[in-house]
């Protein structure tokens, strides 16, 4: 049974989250402050954290940074803050995902399940991806659609590999540019946008309505393959 720690100062929201998580057979631990949240995280070693940013004794971003100094545990931010800069700051601090309030219960649970899968697979290398009738072997850099060879450039493979390592989670534009093109290209997202457009043309049944390579506006991209193979 997975254990989820919720750090949230609103008692009513903690109650709703507790009922929601327990209905899915997760163990629920709660904290109302950043200080208490770090204590509970160190004590219980939860499998995933859900953290609000507006806490009474400090910003949740500071809590995320402190947790990141000693744990790779998946962290989902659940916050009413909707400014792009605030979302980017949370992700840069070490959060894996960002959900805004008011939230959809099915979507939040899907993000939690994705986070738990990431935790189980941490350190494992993704070798193959499946997108409908497209199968990509990242290790061999080969791809097929319905049995026919499909061509990807080296840059496209590197972008896919970076997204695959964080499958189901947001990868910021800066992180992708840094890992694929190098730190000297930070701020230059044009090549990334072109690469994403080309990848969608090859992966998606309907590139203008992507199912697998999703955009989180202003933040980055999220890969949602039908299957990954380690």
Domain boundaries, the chain: 3-121, 128-229
Q: Please tell me the distance from the alpha carbon of residue 61 to that of residue 32, in angstroms, as a whole number.
A: 15
The answer to whether residue 228 scores a pLDDT higher than 70 is no
pLDDT for 20 equals 96
Q: Please tell me the distance from the alpha carbon of residue 78 to that of residue 100, in angstroms, as a whole number.
A: 6
Q: Please tell me the distance from the alpha carbon of residue 230 to that of residue 25, in angstroms, as a whole number.
A: 27
- Tens of pLDDT, residues 105-144: 999 999 998 888 776 555 556 678 888 888 888 878 888 8
pLDDT, average across residues 197-201: 94
What are residue 5's DSSP bridge partners? 29, 49
pLDDT for 178 equals 84
Least Cα distance to 196 among 169, 173, 219 occurs for: 173
Cβ atoms of residues 63 and 36 within 8 Å: no
Mean pLDDT of the chain: 88
CATH architecture group of domain 128-229 = Orthogonal Bundle (1.10)
The answer to whether residue 230 scores a pLDDT higher than 60 is no
Domain spanning 3-121 has what CATH number?
Answer: 3.40.50.2300
Give CA separation, 72 vs 12, 30, 96, 214, 216, in Å: 29, 19, 10, 24, 23
Q: Please tell me the distance from the alpha carbon of residue 115 to that of residue 56, in angstroms, as a whole number.
A: 26
The answer to whether residue 229 scores a pLDDT higher than 60 is no
């Amino acid at each position: 049974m997975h254990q989820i720690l919720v750090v949230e100062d609103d008692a009513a929201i903690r109650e709703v989250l507790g009922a929601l998580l327990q209905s899915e057979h997760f163990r629920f631990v709660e904290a109302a402050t950043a200080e208490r949240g770090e204590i509970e995280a160190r004590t219980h070693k939860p499998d995933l954290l859900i953290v609000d940013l507006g806490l009474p004794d400090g910003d949740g971003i500071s809590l995320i940074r402190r947790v990141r100094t000693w744990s790779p545990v998946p962290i989902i931010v659940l916050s009413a803050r909707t400014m792009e800069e605030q979302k980017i700051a949370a992700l840069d601090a070490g959060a894996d995902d960002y959900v805004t309030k008011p939230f959809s219960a099915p979507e939040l649970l899907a993000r939690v399940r994705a986070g738990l899968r990431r935790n189980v697979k941490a350190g494992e290398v993704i070798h193959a991806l499946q997108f409908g009738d497209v199968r990509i072997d990242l290790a061999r850099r080969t791809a097929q659609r319905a049995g026919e060879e499909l061509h990807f450039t080296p840059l496209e493979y590197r972008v896919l590999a970076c997204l695959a390592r964080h499958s189901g989670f947001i990868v910021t534009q800066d992180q992708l540019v840094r890992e694929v093109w190098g730190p000297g290209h930070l701020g230059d997202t044009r090549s990334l946008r072109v690469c994403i457009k080309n990848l969608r043309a090859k992966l998606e049944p309907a590139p203008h309505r992507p199912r697998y390579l999703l955009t989180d506006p202003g933040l980055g991209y999220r890969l949602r393959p039908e299957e990954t193979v380690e």
